[in-house]
A and B are shown apart, each in its own frame.
Chain A
Amino acid sequence: MNSALQLAGIRKSFDGALALDGASFESRSGEVHALLGENGAGKSSLMNVAAGLYAPDAGSISINGAPISLSGPASARSHGIGMVHQHFKLVRPFTVAENVLLANPQPHFASGLRDIRDAIKKQVDALKFSIDPDRRIDSMTVAEQQQAEIVKVLVGGARILILDEPTAVLTDAEAVGLLEIVQRLARSGTAVVLVTHKLQDVKRYADVVTIMRGGRTVATLDPRQSTAEELTELTVGQTSALPERTPHQGGETRLNVGALTYTRADGRTMLNNTSFFVRAGEIYGIAGVSGNGQAELAEALIGAIEPSLGEIWVDGAGDIGHAGQARRREAAIAAIPADRYAYALAGSLPIQDNLAVAQIRSGRYGSVFRLDRAAMRRDAIAAVKDYDVQGVRSVKQKASLLSGGNAQKLVIAREFSLEPEVVVAHSPSRGLDARACAAVHQRLIAARERGAAIVLISEDLDEILSLSDRIGVMTRGAIVAEFERPADRQAIGRAMVDHA
């Protein structure tokens, strides 16, 4: 069989952080080619390059053996590359036909809409889909919207179909139905690329699998000839040596999360009886495939959402599950949220204001009618020096001018200024370079040495393994397995995928 899509030596970095490091990939017509890897391995980035959304820094793209260059999504489409994004690119108040027409423009609206409607009906029949071209997207279920996306791409004449985590939003039955259709589509000559982190889907539906790790493609093999253990090992990589540190002393329980349950407004249960405890002087890592409730757990712990049931008990303060931020501060809880720009910093305010705001009610910076700017400035200069925040010309400059790593150091400087007894850190090193990442980890370990109880929620398994004293694996809103340090990486990897 001939090569349909070939990517060679693709490199891409975002603001200095390398996302793709010489990744190569080749898919052939008539095959379902799975692209497997953990979150952040670079799967979506690589496929966004193929779909023309990201311009690669280096590397080459070929279609049917002929090198091409892509100037944007429209140019990728003209080469027969169609991508169904994880977050659908559909105009919600439009009908299916209008959305398909928008992506596949015709000279005349009325006749174009008629032709498009016929083309949709043909695709829908061929794929045994159930959607009506005249229904509005916002009246359709997620599974139907996905069908609309696939039809949109196929009506455009795509010979290479890229599906980015297509089953993430589907129920199990819907997922099986979709994957069978995708397999049939490949049999009829389309080159299908299935981006996924689900091992079972790969084993059951893929003809070839390419595994990505850390922005590189590490192996391409036949999933039917390899065991789940082999694939897991390739996906998560080899165990690295753990850094030395003082052995863990079992202190008193500082934080106890009991049967925490949270149901989203759309009725999906994101936390389902989550229970765990964290002792003083301990880092408790929470690992898992993203979307299994980690984000909601972090939000419940820092008070961004209110749990439906269950308790968050903190030593000395009692249940704070429904408490406001003031009571959480009194209970000495520090929060390092995943989205530091949205939840942790006021980007347009000066650095000194961002630092002072945690203690603004303590009287340290004056009373209601008087603000002690000199004290704010003094503390800010000391904190910037202590926490090695780079790129600060003045503590009066806007916090949004700091790079990601330095903004995170600023957040940590503020949160740790109160000597917290409980720390909740959610993906604290996301998007940081190696040096900033090490600095953040050092601060977390220092807090542990001081006796704080730390919850570390992260999708980066390396981070979890190197920092945690105990590790809980989260799946479908519950902790399904716990591991003591030193934990076996393969065992954790298996626990993550077995329940997924």
Chain B
Amino acid sequence: MIDFLVNWLANTPVTAAPYALAALGLIIAERSGVLNLTAEGLMLVGALAGAGTCLALGGYPALALVAAMVAASAVSLLFAVLVVVLRINQVIAGLSVVFFCQGFTGLVGTLAKWQNKQLTGLPPLKIWPLSEIPGIGRILFQQDPIVYLTILIFFAVNFLLFRTMLGLRIRSVGENPGAADAAGVSVTLHRIFAIVAGSSLIGLAGGYISVVSVKLWVTGMTGGRGWIAVALVVFARWAPWPALAGALLFGCIEALIPQIAAAGIRVPQYLMLMTPYLATIAVMIWVGTKDSGITQEPGALGQPHVREERR
């Protein structure tokens, strides 16, 4: 029983990290007032770019993760131009980007023959002597470097949003672009920055899945994790702390699936694979039935900004 628990919890950070990174990236963008549905697509781009770089260079996983961040940011620039400059409906633009990324990554992955090729991955970082504590050591102090990096990124995002002038401006643009504009803040530039910066984290989440966690590229391998991250942000009410907690919750559920199979407990496989999505629906219902006065959705989420001129 203890073994089961330790195995399960030791795997949780690996499954939770992509949710946390993607959700943090989405929070940055959505705090600036841009409804960002592109996560699933950008994670695929990150996953492909990471795996491709690894295969092309024959290793260098850290470089591959940087490539994942850059690739996702580049694609997000397209989204930023669509919704911020051209003011296209953010839902439509987001969905189009996702479908484009799904098709494009599938095509490139197949043409380049990157499918199902084993990658080297990142070795775990043992924090000695803490890593030798029975149980706890395996769960907390023998994870790969990106898990630790995710925690640093979490604090960095918190600091950026709530402890810097840039964060103040990003949030003001998301809450009341009219007031921000009158205060001399460029709504366009801050929204583009928030989208691109957030998307680099979403790309990292995707790259982590292919390079570190699964260690190969398979078409459509993110399997809806981007959508779960989108729901997670709503559940977290656009705040980093609850987003981290939510990521751990979903990570726990996802990590449980292989553990149950390994323990020989007979549960229908598809029921197990369905649980993260069932949990998402349950969480959304919970959010929806709560007092709606405390949703804390950014005031201008999804609204393009045009400087007011009288009709």
Enumerate chain A interface residues (CB-CB to B < 8 A). 14-15, 19, 45, 53, 72-74, 77, 85, 88-94, 98-99, 101-103, 105-110, 112, 341, 404, 431
Q: Let me know if B299 is at the binding interface, CB within 8 A.
A: yes
In this complex, how many residues of chain B approach chain A with their Cβ under 8 Å: the count is 23
Cross-interface CB contact of A102 among B163, B164, B168, cutoff 8 Å: B168
Q: Let me know if B309 is at the binding interface, CB within 8 A.
A: yes
Contacts of B169 in A (CB 8 A): 102
Task: Give the tally of cross-chain contacts (CB within 8 A).
Answer: 70
Which among B165, B183, B299, B309 has the greatest number of chain A C-beta atoms within 10 A? B183
Contacts of A91 in B (CB 8 A): 171-172, 175-176, 179-180, 299
* In contact, A404 and B311 (Cβ under 8 angstroms): yes
Between A and B, 9 residue pairs with Cβ closer than 8 Å are: A14-B310, A15-B311, A73-B182, A85-B182, A89-B183, A94-B171, A98-B168, A105-B165, A109-B168
A413 to chain B, nearest CB (A): 21
Contacts of A19 in B (CB 8 A): 310
* Residue of B with least CB distance to A90: B179
Contacts of A341 in B (CB 8 A): 311
Within 8 A of A (CB), among B147-168: 163-165, 167-168
A16 to chain B, nearest CB (A): 12
Cross-interface CB contact of A14 among B165, B179, B311, cutoff 8 Å: B311
A368 to B180, CA, bound (A): 49
Q: Let me know if B109 is at the binding interface, CB within 8 A.
A: no
* In contact, B172 and A102 (Cβ under 8 angstroms): yes
* In contact, A93 and B299 (Cβ under 8 angstroms): yes
Which among A14, A74, A98, A109 has the greatest number of chain B C-beta atoms within 10 A? A109
A45 to B311, CA, bound (A): 13
* In contact, A103 and B184 (Cβ under 8 angstroms): yes
* Residue of A with least CB distance to B162: A109
Contacts of B168 in A (CB 8 A): 94, 98, 101-102, 109
Contact A94/B182 with A14-B309, A110-B163 known, Cβ cut-off 8 Å = no
A158 to chain B, nearest CB (A): 14
A116 to B101, CA, bound (A): 46
Enumerate chain B interface residues (CB-CB to A < 8 A). 163-165, 167-169, 171-172, 175-176, 178-185, 296, 299, 309-311
Q: A53-B182, A94-B175, A103-B183 are in contact. List 11 more A-B contacts (CB 8 A).
A: A73-B181, A73-B184, A77-B184, A89-B176, A92-B299, A102-B179, A102-B180, A105-B165, A109-B164, A109-B165, A109-B168
* In contact, B163 and A109 (Cβ under 8 angstroms): yes
B186 to chain A, nearest CB (A): 10
* Residue of A with least CB distance to B182: A89
* In contact, B309 and A89 (Cβ under 8 angstroms): no
Contacts of A109 in B (CB 8 A): 163-165, 167-168
B27 to chain A, nearest CB (A): 15
Contacts of B184 in A (CB 8 A): 72-74, 77, 103, 105
B295 to chain A, nearest CB (A): 11
Contacts of A112 in B (CB 8 A): 165
Cross-interface CB contact of A90 among B171, B176, B296, cutoff 8 Å: B176
Contacts of A101 in B (CB 8 A): 165, 168
Contacts of B167 in A (CB 8 A): 109
Contacts of A85 in B (CB 8 A): 182
B288 to chain A, nearest CB (A): 21
B297 to chain A, nearest CB (A): 10
A469 to B90, CA, bound (A): 51
Which among A89, A102, A105 has the greatest number of chain B C-beta atoms within 10 A? A102
The 6 closest A-B pairs by CB, nearest first: A74-B184, A103-B183, A89-B179, A89-B182, A91-B176, A91-B175
A404 to B311, CA, bound (A): 8
Contacts of A73 in B (CB 8 A): 181-184
B193 to chain A, nearest CB (A): 16
* In contact, A102 and B183 (Cβ under 8 angstroms): yes
Which among B164, B167, B168 has the greatest number of chain A C-beta atoms within 10 A? B168
A265 to chain B, nearest CB (A): 14
* In contact, B172 and A94 (Cβ under 8 angstroms): yes
A159 to B163, CA, bound (A): 31
* In contact, B309 and A92 (Cβ under 8 angstroms): no
Which among B163, B181, B182, B309 has the greatest number of chain A C-beta atoms within 10 A? B182
A19 to B165, CA, bound (A): 38
B161 to chain A, nearest CB (A): 11
A108 to B159, CA, bound (A): 13
Contacts of B180 in A (CB 8 A): 91, 102
Contacts of A98 in B (CB 8 A): 168
* Residue of B with least CB distance to A112: B165
Contacts of B165 in A (CB 8 A): 101, 105-109, 112
Contacts of B311 in A (CB 8 A): 14-15, 341, 404, 431
* Residue of B with least CB distance to A77: B184
A36 to B171, CA, bound (A): 38
A430 to B175, CA, bound (A): 31
* Residue of B with least CB distance to A431: B311
* In contact, A93 and B163 (Cβ under 8 angstroms): no
A94 to B167, CA, bound (A): 12
B294 to chain A, nearest CB (A): 11
A181 to B164, CA, bound (A): 34
A105 to B184, CA, bound (A): 9
Contacts of B182 in A (CB 8 A): 53, 73, 85, 89, 103
Contacts of B176 in A (CB 8 A): 89-92
A74 to B180, CA, bound (A): 11
A98 to B310, CA, bound (A): 29
A89 to B172, CA, bound (A): 11
B214 to chain A, nearest CB (A): 40
* Residue of B with least CB distance to A12: B310
Which among B163, B167, B296 has the greatest number of chain A C-beta atoms within 10 A? B163
A110 to B179, CA, bound (A): 22
A91 to B311, CA, bound (A): 25
A74 to B181, CA, bound (A): 9
